[in-house]
Structure 1
Amino acid sequence: MERIRNASVTQHPPPEVRIRSRRRLRACHECDWIMALPPLRPGEEADCVRCGHDLVKRHAFPAQRSLALSLASLVALALALSFPFIGFSTRGVGNEIEVAQTATQMLEHHQPIVAMVVLMSIIVLPAIYLLTVVWLQISLMLPRRLPYSRTLARGLSHIAPWLMADVFIVGTMVALIKVAGLAEISLGPSFWAFIAYAILLLATTLSLDKDWLWFSLSGEPLAPEGTRTGETAASQGLTGCPTCGLINCLDSEGHGRCVRCSEKLHARRPRSLQTTWALLFTAAVLYIPANVYPIMYTTSLGSSDPQTIIGGVIYLVSHGSWPVALVIFVASVIVPIGKLLALVWLCLVAPRAPGMRSVVRARLYRLTELIGRWSMVDVFVVAILVALIRAGALMSIDPGPAALAFGGVVIITMLAAMSFEPRLLWDGSEDPCNPMDSPDDDGLHGDHSGLASDTAPSPHRTAPDEQGSTP
């Protein structure tokens, strides 16, 4: 009951092929629909038939692939922290910085929260994530699992949204363009190492096969007896674990704990709408000083010039840097406002009867999750310029109060998106299947030679099936 995309020729059987006596069931984390996973080959993925959410992505050689990428990323990070990052010089005065100074300089300017956000998002959390991946993949290659493997695996999904090395690279490019006309810029070895690190970190996150990882760590416990596909998990007193994917029973109050990874489970996230509303209100309040107050002060020849977010966009436009101005305007104005409005609208329509197809609202929710972190570009630009432009009264840049306020807007809106319960968008929906699909579509896309027809049933079959029946 899934769509399979991007098929390729397999070299090794996928994990689920090892279980031939029963089907592996999954409940979609976004719409709560229960489905049976077909055997997947490397390069294939299974999507929820109801909302289109990615359920499983299968990779070739998942342990070796993730281990190689994570080790390479750690090496690149070590190199990025060991050499000069960027430098500038003007009128015989210059400065050269390392990556870590983008955080330490903010600390010296009495911006400890911004400094911590920069340090955690580009160095500390990515390093923890990569070391965890190395630990887990080595553990899977050993006869006995290393200690704390399940605890560490559970933490991966919580860390991943806060990895922002790629956003930092964009912020660096914007910062360099802003000062290119004022001073001579030099790129150190660390600059190129950091680009490699950001790319490898992104590749590592994309290479992780969470379904295979948990299958290899703890096997595949049986789904609760009598679990039916083609229905929601909540209607059967069940829920899917958002961490490992396993379907679990809930108590009479709709709470429980996953039997495989020990994650806390809920039929619906407690007080989701109230928490989201509170966070959205806080973000909206912070967005006012973030745009009214200066985000940085530029000192040139003893004269200080405050610059707001919009002022920075106007400055770039006046100097002919239209592409960079557009990036800043979209990331710092359009994205935060759009995300706030989108989440407000989702909170308003979630408890009501759907006036629009649920799949459209689900896609809007995914978009808010995807774009939110890119608003950190402006915060990173300030951190880089503050650390780099240190030439005394001749030229210097200091952070303004808006840097903290805007950073708070970005983080709080990300937390708001995480606290929102997307399954509320589907509660009461009359459409059991994705209305975007044709009823004649068999749900299979790509090359499926070798897949038996009974392992990939039509995604449009809505009649409930017992767990023990033929998939």
Structure 2
Amino acid sequence: MPPDHPLTASHRPYAQASFQRISRRRLRACHECDLVVSLPPLRAGEKADCPRCGHTLVKRHFRPAQRSLALAISALIALMMAVSFPFVSFQVGGIGNRIELTQTATSLIGFDQPLVAIGVALTIVVLPALYLCGVIWLQIGLLQKDPLPFSRGIARSLAHLHPWMMADVFIIGALVSLIKVAGMAQIELGLAFWAFCLFAILLLYTTQSIDSDWMWFSLAGEPLAPEGTRTGETAQAQQMTGCPTCGLVNRLSPAGRGQCQRCGERLHARLPQSLQRTWALLAASVIMYIPANLYPIMTTTTLGQSTPSTIIGGVIELWQMGDWPVAAVIFVASVVVPVGKLLALAWLCLMVGRSHELKGVTRTRLYRITEFIGRWSMVDVFVVAMLVALIRAGALMSITPGPAALAFGAVVVLTMLAATTFDPRLIWDSPSSRPARNAQGNV
């Protein structure tokens, strides 16, 4: 790691935002408020936060390559066990069924739900496996001090894959499903269930162990920031921007575009048509949310009698049966989260251009929460996938997916894309895009 700009030990956890020309090494433009800062020297376990909005710019880990490699290999082994052994089984009236993890996706294809099946398979198995293989590939090259081929492209892909891996959400969905079935049948958890729980935990630790700042320096060094870069001001005011992938500060063309000289990522002063795209995705989400609630999300057949169930109807039924915790989980994930996310993003879009420095921190925190919680709405889709695969006892007891499953899955994807297309730096932009002169006063 190159020598960093010297700071006193008490300031290590924070990035420096002075108003003077300093070394062009270790400069960063915050991805959420666009303030240009100088990173302090960091030891293992320390992090540097933006002094303006509080966004974490860099987080240093002890032996990052060894740590990430060990966690990724362990997680991949756990995933292989999860897909190789029985996941869960049930038995009722002398009739039972045993499923493997992959059947939660493949069973949906038989009920004409290929898009939902693809979404389930991608989020719980395929994308996590690709992510772990990418981490292993990168860290082996870094430990050898000779990056393997395609390392830069793989490193760029890791950040894009992260939001779409939902193993932890699937665990919650599986638990909700099993609680719903436990009162009607005998449930037995297989080895794969516990292996998948371990995999979800290890995957979470793997994603948190990635030290992207160290990784990119080890892969491609760190070119100096453009000459004349000033800290304490926004990058846009200096016709620059920070790369969202590797963090390097780059100069933009007069048209506000460029390409990162370290990782090759396309750069823009602000995401093109950010508000228009966000509004379009929000409108599409609202449209899809209507059939997601009007149509049944699944149909339960018991002793030859079929009962369709909507999202709200399922919540009411669980509440009446006394399963209040499960009903609360489904209500929050399927109603509160998507509606709250739609309202929050719409409000943020309306407030763009009207922001004030003091209110910018609050709105940025709202954006972070909105971005984080969106994926948890997939719980209901995973509940349907789990029950459809498991409960297959013919006229005695069976569950089939309804048309609302696809509509609600589309709502989740569209709202996640809406959060991705919204540029949080717009929160801090005034109509005149004035520099942040009072950044230090808002720490």
Q: Same-fold call, TM > 0.5? A: yes
Q: Aligned match of 1:189 in 165, 188, 191?
A: 191
2 CA distance for matches of 1:100 and 1:195? 15
Query: Does structure 1 retain, via aligned residues, the 8 Å contact 2:232–2:437?
Result: no
Inter-CA distance 320–3: structure 2 relative to 1 (3 Å threshold) = farther
1 CA distance for matches of 2:267 and 2:25? 22
SS at match of 1:278: helix
Q: Aligned match of 1:180 in 182, 187, 190?
A: 182
1 CA distance for matches of 2:265 and 2:345? 26
2:260 is matched with which residue?
A: 258
2 CA distance for matches of 1:401 and 1:365? 31
5 Å-filtered alignment, 1:267-286, equals: 267-286=269-288
Q: CA RMSD in A?
A: 1.7
Q: Aligned match of 1:207 in 206, 209, 212?
A: 209
Inter-CA distance 398–4: structure 2 relative to 1 (3 Å threshold) = farther
SS at match of 1:69: helix
2 CA distance for matches of 1:196 and 1:72? 9
2 CA distance for matches of 1:59 and 1:372? 28
2:392 is matched with which residue?
A: 390
1 CA distance for matches of 2:11 and 2:180? 46
1 CA distance for matches of 2:178 and 2:149? 45
The reply to whether residue 376 of structure 1 matches residue 382 of structure 2 is: no
| Alignment deviations for residues 42-61 of structure 1 (CA, whole Å, 9 cap, x no partner) | 00000000000010000000
Q: Aligned match of 2:157 in 141, 155, 168?
A: 155
The reply to whether residue 291 of structure 1 matches residue 293 of structure 2 is: yes
1 CA distance for matches of 2:325 and 2:369? 23
1:404 is matched with which residue?
A: 406
Residue type of the alignment partner of 2:65: A
Structure 1: 5+ residue runs without aligned partners? 7-19, 438-471
Q: Aligned match of 2:245 in 243, 246, 259?
A: 243
SS at match of 2:53: coil
Per the TM alignment, residue 239 of structure 1 is displaced from its structure 2 partner at its CA by: 0.2
1 CA distance for matches of 2:294 and 2:336? 16
1 CA distance for matches of 2:362 and 2:349? 15
The reply to whether residue 349 of structure 1 matches residue 339 of structure 2 is: no
1 CA distance for matches of 2:429 and 2:266? 21
1:313 is matched with which residue?
A: 315
Per the TM alignment, residue 23 of structure 1 is displaced from its structure 2 partner at its CA by: 3.5
Query: Does structure 2 retain, via aligned residues, the 8 Å contact 1:86–1:96?
Result: yes
Residue type of the alignment partner of 1:103: A
Q: Aligned match of 2:85 in 73, 83, 86?
A: 83
SS at match of 1:88: strand
1:367 is matched with which residue?
A: 369
SS at match of 2:301: strand
SS at match of 1:85: strand
Inter-CA distance 286–243: structure 2 relative to 1 (3 Å threshold) = same
Q: Aligned match of 1:59 in 38, 61, 71?
A: 61
Per the TM alignment, residue 22 of structure 1 is displaced from its structure 2 partner at its CA by: 5.7
Per the TM alignment, residue 356 of structure 1 is displaced from its structure 2 partner at its CA by: 6.5
SS at match of 2:86: coil
Query: Does structure 2 retain, via aligned residues, the 8 Å contact 1:3–1:49?
Result: no
Per the TM alignment, residue 355 of structure 1 is displaced from its structure 2 partner at its CA by: 9.3
SS at match of 1:229: coil
Query: Does structure 1 retain, via aligned residues, the 8 Å contact 2:311–2:334?
Result: yes
2 CA distance for matches of 1:233 and 1:161? 26
2:200 is matched with which residue?
A: 198
1 CA distance for matches of 2:278 and 2:217? 33
1:170 is matched with which residue?
A: 172
Query: Does structure 1 retain, via aligned residues, the 8 Å contact 2:52–2:442?
Result: no
Q: Aligned match of 2:438 in 429, 432, 441?
A: 432
SS at match of 2:171: helix
Per the TM alignment, residue 351 of structure 1 is displaced from its structure 2 partner at its CA by: 3.0
1 CA distance for matches of 2:293 and 2:223? 52
2 CA distance for matches of 1:414 and 1:125? 16
Determine what percentage of the aligned residue pairs are the same residue: 64
2 CA distance for matches of 1:400 and 1:432? 54
Per the TM alignment, residue 324 of structure 1 is displaced from its structure 2 partner at its CA by: 1.0
1:34 is matched with which residue?
A: 36
Residue type of the alignment partner of 1:410: V
1:14 is matched with which residue?
A: none
TM-score for both structures, normalised by structure 1: 0.88
2 CA distance for matches of 1:311 and 1:3? 54
1:414 is matched with which residue?
A: 416
5 Å-filtered alignment, 1:77-156, equals: 77-156=79-158
| Alignment deviations for residues 54-93 of structure 1 (CA, whole Å, 9 cap, x no partner) | 1000000000000000000000000000000011000000
Query: Does structure 1 retain, via aligned residues, the 8 Å contact 2:12–2:41?
Result: no
How many residue pairs match? The answer is 424
Residue type of the alignment partner of 1:371: I
Inter-CA distance 3–154: structure 2 relative to 1 (3 Å threshold) = farther
The reply to whether residue 300 of structure 1 matches residue 306 of structure 2 is: no
Per the TM alignment, residue 143 of structure 1 is displaced from its structure 2 partner at its CA by: 4.0
SS at match of 2:61: coil
2 CA distance for matches of 1:433 and 1:412? 34
Per the TM alignment, residue 424 of structure 1 is displaced from its structure 2 partner at its CA by: 0.4
Inter-CA distance 118–431: structure 2 relative to 1 (3 Å threshold) = farther
SS at match of 1:110: coil
Query: Does structure 1 retain, via aligned residues, the 8 Å contact 2:89–2:98?
Result: yes
SS at match of 2:258: strand
Residue type of the alignment partner of 2:260: C
Per the TM alignment, residue 321 of structure 1 is displaced from its structure 2 partner at its CA by: 1.0
Inter-CA distance 435–302: structure 2 relative to 1 (3 Å threshold) = farther
SS at match of 1:413: helix
1 CA distance for matches of 2:25 and 2:264? 22
Inter-CA distance 218–427: structure 2 relative to 1 (3 Å threshold) = same
Per the TM alignment, residue 383 of structure 1 is displaced from its structure 2 partner at its CA by: 0.1
2 CA distance for matches of 1:336 and 1:300? 31
2:19 is matched with which residue?
A: none
Query: Does structure 1 retain, via aligned residues, the 8 Å contact 2:27–2:225?
Result: yes
2 CA distance for matches of 1:353 and 1:38? 29
Inter-CA distance 434–313: structure 2 relative to 1 (3 Å threshold) = farther
